[in-house]
């Protein structure tokens, strides 16, 4: 296969670099793929050639290639009297025995009547691809599409309706935060398993040759001299963290300290109830020890609930419960852990319908050692459970951030560590979870911190004998 080397103004043979061959296998075996990549890895040529293969060798195939502008869309296919475009260039350089008779040959669209197959390029807008039944949709440089999320709503039905395939690919842009980036959100959600796409990250060093006569290391040293550090991370990221970072956005929790947190393999003891892995234990309850527990409940649909249990005098995580279960079930786990850990001092977030349901079950169970409700100023008010108003949430999060810097607690759960690492504070904004992540573990820890560090006096806990001796 021949492709154009525009930088050196020549026609060259396509190079079957290992990562490109691997991607072809990924394309053939997955319905949705989202690719976060460094620049100049040959991905656009690859996906266009894959699309051309589809229409040349499979009947009744319709391919849509969507790009950020009309001009860039036309460059993907070409045709007619305009510039050849990538698809038309590849096709015109194929051996004659591989070619089919062209039907329509206009700028941005070619079709092959004997196969009843076609390729069309479209500019990104909210209606691009709407009403079409496409066999394959490719969205190139998706980070820059002006209507990416709206367009996704238009093409989603054609993917869901049959054997349609969607390939999203793009280099990252530092000036677009994950919270505002449809592409980065798609990638993060794929990593978390909350959408059906297969996530692929391609760092800059996968391409074996960047400049003839120069090693990759020497080439990259030159790049670092010519580009600003953030530009290097944007154009030639070495890892996902560099690629997903944005300008004007900082990690909320101290990055070095969070990296030092190490996950611990949960205990495997038959007499500790796990409820199919929802509850995990890192240390069993010990006689005479005081524990603190807080739950961020959920409705079991969008967000998971999270319960954390810590040893009061050390801040060490000893158990946690986590999963997408209804609030009434989460309350049962909460009550069970409270009683198991020596009637742990405890509370929960009461916001919304999930909080209300959770509270009703807790009351019916007569869960012991429930903390009184308090306001951000420390004043005790009637009732149980905490309403995390914006003011309260702000205080809880900033107190938690300070506690991370003070190394006031120890996290053992890897999921929690990952969620802390994904918590950001945009310039001029409020602390928040990166799009594609949740804040359930962060808020559970923020709650348990308030209970354990602020509102517990030495005589406030009723300690009973535990089931285990430390």
Question: In this structure, are 337 and 213 located in the same domain?
Answer: no
Q: Kindly report, residue by residue over 423-459, the tens digit of the pLDDT.
A: 888 766 788 887 667 899 999 999 999 887 654 443 3
Asked if the structure places residue 466 within a domain, the reply is no
Task: Give yes or no for residue 301 having a pLDDT over 90.
Answer: no
Structure tokens at 258: 């969070």
CA–CA distance, 190 with 185 (Å, rounded to integer): 8
SS3 helix, strand, coil % of the chain, rounded to 5? 40, 20, 40
Question: In this structure, are 333 and 352 located in the same domain?
Answer: yes
Task: Give yes or no for residue 461 having a pLDDT over 70.
Answer: no
pLDDT of residue 380: 77
Q: Where does a domain end: 247, 263, 288? A: 247
Q: What is the mean pLDDT of residues 19-48?
A: 96
Q: Which residue(s) pair with 92 in the sheet?
A: none
Asked if the structure places residue 460 within a domain, the reply is no
E strand spans, 275-316: 279-281, 291-296, 305-311
374 — pLDDT class (breaks 50, 70, 90): confident
Q: What is the mean pLDDT of residues 253-268?
A: 82
Task: Give yes or no for residue 287 having a pLDDT over 90.
Answer: yes
CA–CA distance, 379 with 273 (Å, rounded to integer): 37
- Quote the number of domains for the chain: 2
Q: What is the mean pLDDT of the chain?
A: 87
pLDDT of residue 459: 39
CATH number assigned to the domain comprising residue 69: 3.40.50.300
| Percent of residues, the chain, with pLDDT higher than 70 | 92
pLDDT of residue 197: 94
Asked if the structure places residue 423 within a domain, the reply is yes
Question: In this structure, are 237 and 308 located in the same domain?
Answer: no
Q: What is the mean pLDDT of residues 290-294?
A: 95
Asked if the structure places residue 9 within a domain, the reply is yes
pLDDT of residue 350: 92
CA–CA distance, 135 with 58 (Å, rounded to integer): 10
Q: What is the pTM assigned to this prediction? A: 0.60
For residue 400, the enclosing domain spans: 255-454
Question: In this structure, are 29 and 124 located in the same domain?
Answer: yes
81 — pLDDT class (breaks 50, 70, 90): low
Higher per-residue pLDDT: 459 or 11 = 11
> In this structure, what is the dihedral angle of CA atoms 314, 317, 319, 323, given to the nearest 10 degrees?
150
466 — pLDDT class (breaks 50, 70, 90): very low
pLDDT of residue 454: 54
Q: Kindly report, residue by residue over 199-258, the tens digit of the pLDDT.
A: 999 999 999 999 888 999 999 999 999 988 878 989 999 999 889 877 666 788 887 888
Question: In this structure, are 207 and 266 located in the same domain?
Answer: no
- The DSSP call for residue 370 is B
Task: Give yes or no for residue 53 having a pLDDT over 90.
Answer: yes
Range of weakest confidence among 95-104, 298-307, 461-470: 461-470
Asked if the structure places residue 470 within a domain, the reply is no
Structure tokens at 39: 């620049």
Question: In this structure, are 260 and 156 located in the same domain?
Answer: no
Q: 187, 202, 196, 167: which is closest to 50 by C-alpha? A: 167
Q: Kindly report, residue by residue over 315-342, the tens digit of the pLDDT.
A: 999 999 999 999 999 999 999 999 999 9
Task: Give yes or no for residue 462 having a pLDDT over 90.
Answer: no
Range of weakest confidence among 125-129, 286-290, 361-365, 416-420: 125-129
234 contact partners, CB below 8 Å, separation of at least 6? 171, 172, 173, 174
CATH number assigned to the domain comprising residue 393: 3.30.420.240
Q: What is the mean pLDDT of residues 9-18?
A: 90
Task: Report helix, strand or coil for 296.
Answer: strand
């Amino acid at each position: 296969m021949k492709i154009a080397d525009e930088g050196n103004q020549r026609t060259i043979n396509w190079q079957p670099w290992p990562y490109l061959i691997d991607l072809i296998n990924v394309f053939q075996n997955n319905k949705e793929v989202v690719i976060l990549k460094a620049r100049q890895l040959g991905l656009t040529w690859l996906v266009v050639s894959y699309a051309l293969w589809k229409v040349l060798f499979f009947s009744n195939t319709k391919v849509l290639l969507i790009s950020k502008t009309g001009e860039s869309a036309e460059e993907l296919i070409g045709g007619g009297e305009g510039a050849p475009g990538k698809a038309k260039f590849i096709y015109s350089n194929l051996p004659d025995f591989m070619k089919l008779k062209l039907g329509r040959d206009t700028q941005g669209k070619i079709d092959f009547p004997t196969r009843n197959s076609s390729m069309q390029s479209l500019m990104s807008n909210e209606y691009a691809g709407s009403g079409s039944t496409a066999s394959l949709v490719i969205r190139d440089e998706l980070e820059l599409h002006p209507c990416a999320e709206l367009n996704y709503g238009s093409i989603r039905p054609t993917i869901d309706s049959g054997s349609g395939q969607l390939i999203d690919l793009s280099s990252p842009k530092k000036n677009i935060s994950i919270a505002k980036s449809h592409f980065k959100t798609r990638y993060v959600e794929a990593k978390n398993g909350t959408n059906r796409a297969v996530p692929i990250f391609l760092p800059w060093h996968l391409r074996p040759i960047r400049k003839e006569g120069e090693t990759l290391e020497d080439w990259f040293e030159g790049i670092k001299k010519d580009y600003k550090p953030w530009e290097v991370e944007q154009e030639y990221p070495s890892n996902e963290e560099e690629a997903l970072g944005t300008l004007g956005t900082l990690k909320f929790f101290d990055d070095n300290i969070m990296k030092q947190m190490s996950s611990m393999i949960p205990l495997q003891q038959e007499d500790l109830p796990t409820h199919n892995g929802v509850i995990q234990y890192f240390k069993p309850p010990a006689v005479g020890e005081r524990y603190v527990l807080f739950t961020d409940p959920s409705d079991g649909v969008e967000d998971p609930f999270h319960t954390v249990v810590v040893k009061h005098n050390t801040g060490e995580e000893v158990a946690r419960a986590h999963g997408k279960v209804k609030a009434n079930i989460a309350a049962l786990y909460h009550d069970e852990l409270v009683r198991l850990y020596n009637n742990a001092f405890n509370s929960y977030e009461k916001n919304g319908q999930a909080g209300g349901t959770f509270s009703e079950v807790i009351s019916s169970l007569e869960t012991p050692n429930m903390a009184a409700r308090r306001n951000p100023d420390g004043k005790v008010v009637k009732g149980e459970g905490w309403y995390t108003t914006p003011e309260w949430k702000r205080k809880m999060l900033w107190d938690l951030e300070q506690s991370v810097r003070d190394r006031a607690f120890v996290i053992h759960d890897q999921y929690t560590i990952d969620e802390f690492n994904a918590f950001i504070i945009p310039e001029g904004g409020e602390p928040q979870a990166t799009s594609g992540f949740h804040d359930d573990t962060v808020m559970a820890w923020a709650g348990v911190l308030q209970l354990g560090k602020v509102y517990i006096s030495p005589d406030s806990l009723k300690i009973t004998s535990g089931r285990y001796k430390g």
